[in-house]
Amino acid sequence: MKIKIITVTSKKNQYKNEIDRYLKMLPSFMKVDQLELPISKRSKQKVVDQNLEEECNKILSHINSSDFLITMDEKGNQIDTIQFSKWLKRWMDEGIQPVFLVGGPDGLAQKLKDKANASLSLSSLTYAHSMVPLILAEQLYRAWSIIDNQPYHRP
């Protein structure tokens, strides 16, 4: 199984070590690629939509037509950990390759939102942008531990 986490960011993620720690605990058949794409250069002459379009094009160059796109969006669906583990199990069983899209400071272009198979909100709380990949990595490991009947998740 191949999973991608694509993040549009202005700097290297400060939580990289913690993210890697969770991803290394996943079984060897679950490969997680993390891509950090640079935000578009901001200027007074460019409007937000231009930045989003440039970032959208960068993201699109890293996805395949068969990928299952999940936008990380504050207005997305909120699911609990058990539901997320069921998603992961289904993806594993059906050979689905999920790609999590984390937008830059202006979010994601509408074109990506329209193309997405799902939209997910981690919480109604607002998190620092750099925390989203860390939370995703932890939730992937937690979901796997549920599927594998490991004691990590305690309801």
Tokens 């796109």, residue? Answer: 69
Evaluate whether residue 153 is within a structural domain. no
The token pair at 130 is 């750099």
- How many domains does the chain fold into? 1
Q: What distances in angstroms separate CA 131 from CA 19, 127, 138, 142, 150, one per listed residue?
A: 9, 6, 11, 16, 25
Evaluate whether residue 87 is within a structural domain. yes
Q: What is the pLDDT of residue 142?
A: 97
Evaluate whether residue 114 is within a structural domain. yes
If phi > 0 it is left, if psi is from -120 to 50 it is alpha, else beta; for residue 128 that is beta
Q: What is the pLDDT of residue 45?
A: 78
Supply the range of the domain harboring residue 113: 2-147
Handedness of CA 112, 116, 119, 120 (dihedral sign): negative
Evaluate whether residue 48 is within a structural domain. yes
Q: What distances in angstroms separate CA 57 from CA 31, 71, 143, one per listed residue?
A: 24, 15, 31
Evaluate whether residue 155 is within a structural domain. no
Task: Give me the helices (H) in the chain, please.
Answer: 16-24, 48-60, 81-94, 110-115, 131-147
Q: What is the pLDDT of residue 50?
A: 92
Q: Could you tell me the CATH number of the domain that includes residue 95?
A: 3.40.1280.10
Which tens digits make up the pLDDT trace of 95-135?
999 999 999 888 999 999 999 999 999 998 888 888 999 99
Evaluate whether residue 93 is within a structural domain. yes
Cα Dmax for the chain: 54
Q: What is the pTM of this model?
A: 0.94
* pLDDT > 90 fraction of the chain, expressed in percent and rounded: 81
Evaluate whether residue 152 is within a structural domain. no
Evaluate whether residue 9 is within a structural domain. yes
